[in-house]
Amino acid sequence: MKFLCIDCDEVMTFAERELPGDGTLAAVFECPDCGREMAMLTNPMETKLVSGLGIQVGGRTVPDQPLELVRSSVTTGDEQAFADLPLTAGTVRWSEAAAERLQGVPGFVRGMVKKIYGEYAVERGIEEITPEIMDRARQDLGLEGM
């Protein structure tokens, strides 16, 4: 898919992604010439079709994780199936509220989610992960269903 600003005859570039959490997705595109913005809104089925291919709208922003599709999309996984090794890139603290929220993530995918948030924080020099950071990371990284 390409988005063309008709007035400028320019291809609009991907600007940001929003995940309201109901399975839908908003991808914002911007004209590099006139600055006009538009949003592409996808319904849950369209969103799923793309994520089912292991693909992210707007391009990949996190390196893909081992068994990412399986871990993020299987609902009948064993809570104890995986033992994720800790981050090698650096260390981050988890605030109590953030740690609590992480506990709400199914064990099948928790270790992977923790690692993705951890890498996000380390890359940006964030020392402590809070629920707000988690929200921001989810939007920035396009983590649907994690």
Partner 1 sequence: MTERTRKVRTYHEVADPDSEDIVGQIEAQRSKLVGRLADIDRLVVVASGKGGVGKSAITANLAALIAERGRRVGAIDGDLHGPSLAAMLGAERTPLVVSEHGVEPAVGAAGVKLMSMDLVLSDGAPLEWRQPEVAGFVYQSTLDTGAVRELLADVVWGELDFLLIDAPPGTDKLARLLELLPVIDTLLLVTTPSEAARRAVGRTVRQAHGTGISTIGLVANMTAHECPDCGRSEPMFEADGAARLATETGLELWAEVPFEPRFAVATDAGRPLVLEAPESPAARELGRLATKLANATSDTA
Binding site for partner 1 (CB under 8 A): 1-4, 6, 9, 11-14, 23, 27, 29, 44-45, 48-50, 52-60, 64, 66-70, 73-85, 88, 108, 111-112, 145
Task: Note the Cα 88 to chain centre separation in Å.
Answer: 20
Using CA atoms, how far apart are residues 143 and 68, in angstroms rounded to an integer?
Answer: 11
Four-residue CA torsion sign, 68, 72, 74, 77: positive
Within a 10 A sphere around the Cβ of 27, how many other Cβ atoms? 20
* 8 part of the interface to Zn ion, by CB under 5 A: yes
Least distance in Å: CB of 96 to partner 1?
26
Our CB check for partner 1 shows the closer of 24 and 95 to be 24
Least distance in Å: CB of 43 to partner 1?
8
| Residues in Cβ contact with 97 at an 8 Å cutoff, skipping those fewer than 6 apart | 130, 131
In terms of Cβ atoms closer than 10 Å to its own Cβ (0-12, 13-18, 19+), residue 59 is exposed
Residue 143 interacts, among Zn ion, partner 1, none and using kind-specific CB cut-offs from 5 to 8 Å, with none
Q: Using CB under 5 A, which residues numbered 30 to 59 contact Zn ion?
A: 31, 33-34, 36
Residue 34 interacts, among Zn ion, partner 1, none and using kind-specific CB cut-offs from 5 to 8 Å, with Zn ion
